[in-house]
Amino acid sequence: MFDIAWSELALIGVVALVVIGPKDLPVALYTAGKWMRKARLLARDFQSHLDDMVRQAELEDLRKQAQKVAQFDLTAEVTKMVDPTDSVRQALEINPTASLTATEVTPAPTSAPDGTVEGSADAKPAEPELPAIGSPAMPLILPESTPEAAAEPVPVAPAAMPVATPAPHAEHAGADAPAPAKS
């Protein structure tokens, strides 16, 4: 503890025996033992308080790290790493006001087999083109299908479906066999 060798301890004992005397030496050693015990208890208590302070400081650091993790926005970080210029999101974004058809292209005038140019005044008027399906002029309307409507069978009139009767077999032919139906 104090790095004292046995020879130095023996020298201190001999000096104490001469100075204190053999009569008062046991009382002096008992008192020195009490002080050493109190010093050790104080040192142990001081060490435990220091350990508690260090533990609390570490817990405070851990609490701060846990708060940082709780406030961390994972989706923003992944988006920043995967698509830093935001071009993928813009390419996949659906614009509800945009038309579903491509832009219209006017064809160049061509000459017909009779020699007239289709874009000229003497050309025959062309048939009007129908608007594209899904454009604002002709919206795409899909029929609504419900599970109840799909599960219902379509009724068939009995007169529309011919009834076939099975032919009697040779082994079952007899009085119990039904008569064949005439159609």
Confirm whether 46 is domain-assigned: yes
DSSP class of residue 163?
P
Confirm whether 101 is domain-assigned: no
Cα 122 to Cα 111, 114, 116, 126, 142: the distances in Å are 12, 12, 7, 12, 43
Phi–psi pair at 84, nearest 5 degrees: -70, -30
pLDDT at 171: 55
Q: What share of the chain is helix, strand, coil (3-state, %, to 5)?
A: 45, 0, 50
pLDDT at 81: 86
Confirm whether 159 is domain-assigned: no
- Yes or no: say if 181 and 166 are a contact pair by the CB < 8 Å rule: no
Q: Determine the Cα–Cα distance for residues 79 and 56; give it in Å rounded to an integer.
A: 37
Confirm whether 61 is domain-assigned: yes
Length in residues, the chain: 183
Low-confidence ranges of the chain (pLDDT < 50): none
Q: Exposed, middle or buried: residue 101 (CB in 10 Å: 0-12, 13-18, 19+)?
A: middle
Confirm whether 22 is domain-assigned: yes
Confirm whether 18 is domain-assigned: yes
Domain count, the chain: 1
Confirm whether 43 is domain-assigned: yes
Range of the domain at 41: 6-75
Confirm whether 131 is domain-assigned: no
- Yes or no: say if 28 and 20 are a contact pair by the CB < 8 Å rule: yes
**pTM exceeds cut of 0.75:** no
